[in-house]
Structure 1
Amino acid sequence: MSGLVNALVIVAVVAVVIVRQFRARRIDTGRRWWLLPAILAVVALREPGILDAHHHTESAVLLGVELVIGLATGAGWAWTTCLWVEEDGAVWSRSTKASGGVWIVGIALRVGLFALGAAVGVHQDSAALMLGLAATLLVRSGILVWRAQSFTGAARSAPAYGFGMARQARKERV
């Protein structure tokens, strides 16, 4: 895929994921939660320009840092997501304001990383960003499924930053 197509895929996935996560959603622990991140990773790894041909070491370091930022963003997003159990035993989730803050910090770090790479002359392809996004989604989904499985069915909530808000969120079945 071209860089423009990759960029459009990244923007579309981020937009869909962010919009969906700020609504209450049922967590299905039996679902293939790893499928979207796996597809994004395969598409990213198939790109020949994931590493700069003239700066292998520098681009590999930047890619590694991108992955670390992705993993940290996914973990932060998952741990700031509010989980609760309904009377029927279903586990629901909704991102909090802190989750939005995690996204903002993650995007700012990625922009800074891109600027650093441009300053040292490393060509950075959108495949690295797509791989970082795949890492973010994989870690977030994995932690949420793990947290959801820890519920025993009692009507209680998992602690998250900002938990205890009085607003009732609209539910959306998936």
Structure 2
Amino acid sequence: MPALANVVVIIAVVGYVLFRQFQPRLVNSNPRRLLIVPAVLAYLALRDPHLLDPHHRALSAGFLIVGVVLEIGMGAAWGFTTRIWRDADGSIWSKGTKASLFAWIGMVIVRIALYAGAAAFSIPQGQAGILLSLAALLLVRGMVVTWRSREFGAAYGSPVGAL
């Protein structure tokens, strides 16, 4: 995929996620739905031939792994800062909080620091690394919110597996 298309995908996904983050929305615990966007992003990243720098494979892979691991941690932080509640009709809802906003700011700072560290070693960081990190971030955040929403259990009168 051309670099411009990757940038458009990254901006679109981040913009959509940020917009939706601060809007109340129903928690959907369907595992297939939880996997769709991260799977597409991971596929786009892994098929990019510039995922690793051919001149610095080991260092490039190291920065990629560190970036993905840090985004996994940030995804968990984001998931735990999301407010989750049960509505009067028994539906489970989620919405980002001020702490979620700070988690996003932290993610941006971490990404900038990672780019600066890679630049110090003359290792280019392409869009594929961001796509893969974003896939990990969204997957972990979705898993944490789904796991936390199950703490509410089934609403009275609804089947146990309805969540």
TM exceeding 0.5 = yes
State the partner residue of 2:53: 52
Give per-residue Cα distances to partners, 1:54-82, cap 9 Å, x unaligned. 00011001001110121011100000000
For 1:7-26, list aligned pairs within 5 A: 7-26=7-26
Q: Cα distance, 1:154 vs. partner?
A: 5.7
Q: Cα distance, 1:124 vs. partner?
A: 1.6
RMSD: 1.3
| d(CA) in 2 for partners of 1:21, 1:106 | 15
Count of equivalent residues? 155
Runs of 4+ deviating beyond 6 Å: none
| d(CA) in 2 for partners of 1:126, 1:53 | 15
Greater CA deviation, 82-91 or 28-37? 28-37
Contact 1:33 1:142 in 2 (8 A): yes
Contact 1:66 1:132 in 2 (8 A): yes
Task: Return the structure number with greater strand share.
Answer: 1
State the partner residue of 1:34: 35
| d(CA) in 1 for partners of 2:123, 2:112 | 14
Unmatched 5+ stretches in structure 1: 156-174
Contact 1:34 1:142 in 2 (8 A): no
For 1:1-174, list aligned pairs within 5 A: 1-30=1-30, 32-153=33-154
Identity %: 43
| d(CA) in 2 for partners of 1:33, 1:50 | 24
| d(CA) in 2 for partners of 1:120, 1:54 | 11
| d(CA) in 1 for partners of 2:4, 2:30 | 35
